[in-house]
Copies of this chain bind each other. A is one copy, B any other.
Amino acid sequence: MIFLSGGVRLKTRRSDRLIDMTRYLLERPHTLISLTFFAKRYESAKSSISEDLAIIKRTFKFRGIGILETIPGAAGGARFIPSIDEQEARDFIQNMTERLSEKDRLLPGGYVYLSDLLGRPDVLRQVGRVIARQYLDKQIDAVMTVATKGVPIAQSVSNYLNVPFVILRRDSKITEGSTVSVNYVSGSSERIEKMELSKRSLKRGSHVLVVDDFMKGGGTVNGMKSMIEEFESEMVGITVFAEAAFEGHRMVDDYTSLLKVDQVNTLNKTIHVSAGNYLEKVFGK
């Protein structure tokens, strides 16, 4: 009886811990949470917490939620690294190719209407997980994008990497304090344009991931590259939600795309969209 009642009590408390720890870890990706912190929070022995973490680690792996890195010993703890299974990533990208191929998405100039998808929280969560998956073992200090349409993607990736994001602007009306500006050639139209970034928004020596919604000639992305150099920082990678088929020389070559708009026929208003190079880059053939 004592054992049983002890067992029941233990089970109840463990349930509470598992639920709260899961949520606590999910909300703080890439952050080491110490055994001491959890032990205090739940008034439990570190040995029990260690067992809890082992269970969570196993489930996170089995369910494709991500990696729970556990650091053993009394001074140890756990760090949640969000990820996504290959199959779930493939399904998501496949689903997006179908959505993007809808013929009423075609806009003048060969652009594709994306604002509905990139305004949906469920889509943005998966975009964030998918992109974060590619960089889970890289040091990244900030995610960079350009206003306005890149912002939701940057924010979602930033959420899963748990680092800040910074926004470049093409207009200078907005009050941001002192800014640094760069000129860049808009690849698709060959105009010279200007982008600005608030001086205080990025530290020197940062490792920066560039994301954007759509890439044609790569001029905008190239402008962000120049901006990163102006801040004496390092570009870790470039990932775009969709790339357009582009005749001619692209200004950047090493980039990742989730989707590729292969063909746009403005006459009969059809779009053909396939998977970008993400799946091959991240999971191999």
* B171-A171 in contact (CB<8A): yes
CB contact list, A136-179 vs B, under 8 A = 147-149, 151-152, 155-156, 158-159, 162-167, 169, 171, 174-177
A23 and B22 in contact, given A59-B15, A116-B200 (Cβ under 8 angstroms):
yes
Q: Cβ of A72 < 8 Å from any Cβ of B?
A: no
Identify the stretch in A88-96, A104-112, A265-273 within 8 Å (CB) of chain B at 4 or more residues.
Answer: A104-112
Chain B's nearest CB lies how many Å from the CB of A148? 4
Q: Cβ of A274 < 8 Å from any Cβ of B?
A: no
* A121-B59 in contact (CB<8A): no
**In the complex, A27 Cα to B56 Cα: how many Å?**
17
Q: Cβ of A285 < 8 Å from any Cβ of B?
A: no
Q: Cβ of A19 < 8 Å from any Cβ of B?
A: yes
Q: Cβ of A194 < 8 Å from any Cβ of B?
A: no
Contact of A125 among B27, B59, B115 (CB under 8 A): B27
**In the complex, A22 Cα to B159 Cα: how many Å?**
19
**A125 contact set on B, CB distance < 8 A:** 27, 159
**In the complex, A111 Cα to B55 Cα: how many Å?**
49
User: Which B residue sits closest to A3, measured CB to CB?
Assistant: B4
Residue with the greatest number of chain B CB neighbours at <10 A, chosen from A62, A158, A175: A175
Q: What are 30 sample pairs from A and B whose C-beta atoms fall under 8 A apart?
A: A7-B7, A11-B11, A11-B14, A12-B55, A14-B15, A15-B15, A15-B55, A16-B59, A18-B22, A19-B19, A19-B59, A19-B60, A23-B23, A23-B26, A23-B65, A26-B26, A107-B175, A113-B176, A113-B198, A113-B200, A115-B166, A115-B167, A115-B176, A120-B164, A122-B162, A124-B159, A147-B147, A148-B167, A148-B174, A151-B155
Interface residues of A (CB under 8 A from B): 7, 11-12, 14-16, 18-20, 22-23, 26-28, 55-56, 58-60, 62-63, 65, 107-109, 111, 113, 115-116, 119-122, 124-125, 147-149, 151-152, 155-156, 158-159, 162-167, 169, 171, 174-177, 198, 200-201
- Given A113-B198, A119-B165, A121-B158, 19 new contacts (CB under 8 A): A11-B11, A15-B15, A18-B18, A19-B19, A19-B56, A19-B63, A20-B63, A26-B26, A27-B125, A107-B175, A108-B175, A111-B175, A113-B200, A119-B166, A120-B164, A121-B155, A121-B162, A148-B167, A155-B156
